[in-house]
Chain A
Amino acid sequence: MLSLQDVQSARDRISGRVVRTPTISATLLGQICGVDLLLKAELFQKTGSFKVRGVFNKLLSIPEAQRSAGFVSMSAGNFAAALAYACGTLGAKATIVMPDWAVRSKVEATEGYGGEVILTEGDLMEEMNRIRDERGLTFIHPFDDPEIMAGHGTIGLEITEDVADAEVVVVPVGGGGLIGGIAAALKGILPSASVFGVEPESADAMTRSLAEGKPVAVGRVASIADGLAAPFAGEHTFAAVREFVDDVVTVADEAIVDALRLIYTRAKLACEPAGAASVAAILSGALNLTPGTRVVCVISGGNVDLNVLKGIL
């Protein structure tokens, strides 16, 4: 099981390679939500999302000699860009299989960081396996990996430093790597704080997994929060969520859009729909918190397609 020590080791490993992001008081948004709200601005992270934390921790845990063969993975966007960026920094080659519906700006960003993108309309895992075998690459799982989770968990360490009296931390859930890491760190340092996860109603793999007591797949998913559209919960992530997370709730896409608009107009942060899910859970009432609760919402990323955004604003 992932531990606080794993996360602390991850921090030593990735320190200097990632941004130590700020936690910002969101006074106006907090008044609307009825809570004492702070935002962990992970959209200011390198590549525009939290993903580089886990990726650097994973890559740096692999001996240098074994990195030269290059890496392969699959992702709809933010992980792809992060892997391409981190590999570029470390002098390794990144190949990423992406679905053909991936947000174009995320495909372009991945290529911009020097990654090779292979678009497929078929099954991502199958295509990834084929390319891995054909080219002799090392597979990095986008979320279901203890080193990836430990890297993401460094966000939890920073939250406890910035907001030592946090009562609730709310985290968007895709595959569960982000919340698994954050919860492991938080519960180790601040056991009195509650950690809640948020999934789109139409991509609720973790909610269903918790209900069934084992990680399950939900088939094809479609949410405006493309960053949360993981079709299954991982073995490692499910175990961490079951151990450390208080509850996972779901929100409708409409609630995510409402939250996104308010984050733009009131908190002045250009976040992506996935990043707005945490605030959406409070605004929509999916999470019913006592007024005045000191809450940290993780704004996980800011890579939004301008065409999508235009429609929302």
Chain B
Amino acid sequence: MKPHRPVGVSEAETARVALRGIATRTPLVRLELEEAPAEIYLKLETLQPVGSFKIRGAATAFAGVNGALDGGVWTASAGNMAHAVAYLARAKGIPASVVVPDTAPEAKLAALERLGAKVLKVPFDTWLRIFETRGHEAMTGYFIHPFSDRSVMTGNATIGLEILEDLPEVDAVIIPYGGGGLTAGIASVVRALAPRARIYACEVDTAAPLAASLAAGKPVEVEYRSSFVDGIGAPRVFPEMFELVRKLVDGSIVVPVADVAAAVRLLAVRAKAIAEGAGAAAVAAALTGRAGAGKVVCIVSGGNIDASKLAAILEGTRREQG
């Protein structure tokens, strides 16, 4: 597949208008800490109707293809894109199916069932391959790729527009890196409109192919272990995403899973925000100081975490894997 072009600012602005009434214009909230390497701001995508940023990309994709959706829609997702697609499909009255990895958490599967989506659980590797082949024998209807899709990235880019509106003097942005669609979307518009701002992806050390690929200068395979941080992380980057992202970001900040758990706790206690692991990863990255000082915006990408996992983290018993 050919590498993607950056999302244009005017495309993102058009998408933003179309998202009105569907996606929430989320607030940018200050994280007040006595000692922090930077002035940290939280872009709370947790407050979206589906609990994650994915509604932006999914709704933008829906708007772009309209009539083609009548036969139903499907996606492959760890949970959040599936949730967004199922939510929008139900509102439109069309059937939705989703392929999820066997590592998908209960909170995300329960949400899918509530929305009436057909759920197919497959082994992690089978699931991962769909992002390359864009097909699965049991699936019919229109396929929405959760990240390697122009419309999806354009929807994600609207987050960048909102950040620059709320904090034009932003010094750095940190974005959790899963497939790369969120990073590519936000980084495209921030690069264009605030060229002096630093842009970082962030990953957990149990699944950090971007950092390794950036270091190698080409896509490389890394050892992958699953953790409670289920929304991001893979054994490899997707080449067409990597080629775009490498031009846009200043690096990828890799943090231990335990630091992400601590960030989930910090967000609840200090910022009063419920975040899932992927959502808290950017905060853990900001706290390392590697994104530098000044005004640092962390994309808190989602908040769909099992209540039992959250309780364990708040209690401080969850340290390593999950």
What is A's interface to B at a CB cutoff of 8 Å? 19, 22, 24-25, 27-28, 41, 43-44, 46, 48, 261, 264-271, 302, 306, 309-310, 313
Contacts and interface: CB of A to CB of B under 8 A. Distances in A.
Interface of B: 24, 26-27, 29-30, 32, 44, 46-47, 49-51, 107, 267-269, 271-275, 303, 307-308, 310-311, 314-315
Contacts of B51: 28, 266, 268
Contact of B269 (A28, A269, A306): A306
A310 B46 contact: no
11 contacts: A27-B24, A264-B310, A265-B307, A267-B47, A268-B46, A269-B47, A270-B267, A302-B272, A306-B315, A310-B315, A313-B307
Contacts of A261: 307
Contact of B273 (A27, A266, A269): A269
Contacts of A269: 47, 272-274
B42 to A, nearest CB: 9
A19 B315 contact: no
A309 B273 contact: no
Given A24-B27, A264-B307, A271 B272 contact: yes
B33 to A, nearest CB: 12
Contact of B30 (A19, A24, A268, A309): A19
Contacts of A268: 44, 46-47, 51, 273-275, 303
Given A265-B307, A313-B310, A24 B272 contact: no
Contacts of B47: 24, 267-269
A93 to B, nearest CB: 20
Nearest to B312: A310
Contacts of A46: 32
Contact of B24 (A25, A266, A270): A25
Contacts of A25: 24, 49
A265 B311 contact: no
A44 B272 CA distance: 7
Contacts of B46: 268
Contacts of A43: 272
B35 to A, nearest CB: 13
A310 B317 CA distance: 12
Nearest to A45: B272
Contact of B49 (A22, A27, A306): A27
B120 to A, nearest CB: 24
Contacts of A313: 307-308, 310-311, 314
B29 A309 contact: no
B222 to A, nearest CB: 31
A133 B154 CA distance: 65
Nearest to A43: B272
Given A19-B30, A269-B274, A271-B272, A310 B49 contact: no
